[in-house]
Amino acid sequence: MSGGRAWWCLIGGVAAWEIYALRTDPERLLSRALDRGRATHPVANVACRAAVIATALHLCRAYPKRYARYDPFALLRLT
């Protein structure tokens, strides 16, 4: 599976879950679950923020060359 296809599968899965949650129980939305987790534990707050920043940098290909080895998606060979 190519990296682009993996991202589209992830986006489709998240969109499907959000639509399902909106129709059944809005408390199951991913944004609300993240908010509850971040409010509960400070480490969860840091982990959520780090995941968002790492994903944004990866998608923008904004990692400087000397830090490219720290790209978590490249380390996991997802793309």
The string of pLDDT tens digits covering residues 30-55 is 888 888 888 888 888 888 888 888 77
- Alpha helices, H only, the chain: 3-24, 30-40, 42-60, 72-75
Is-contact 79 6, C-beta < 8 A? yes
Domain ranges in the chain? 3-75
Q: What pLDDT was estimated at residue 24?
A: 92
Predicted pLDDT of residue 40: 87
Record the pTM: 0.52
| pLDDT value, residue 77 | 63
Q: Which residue has the tokens 């982990």?
A: 47
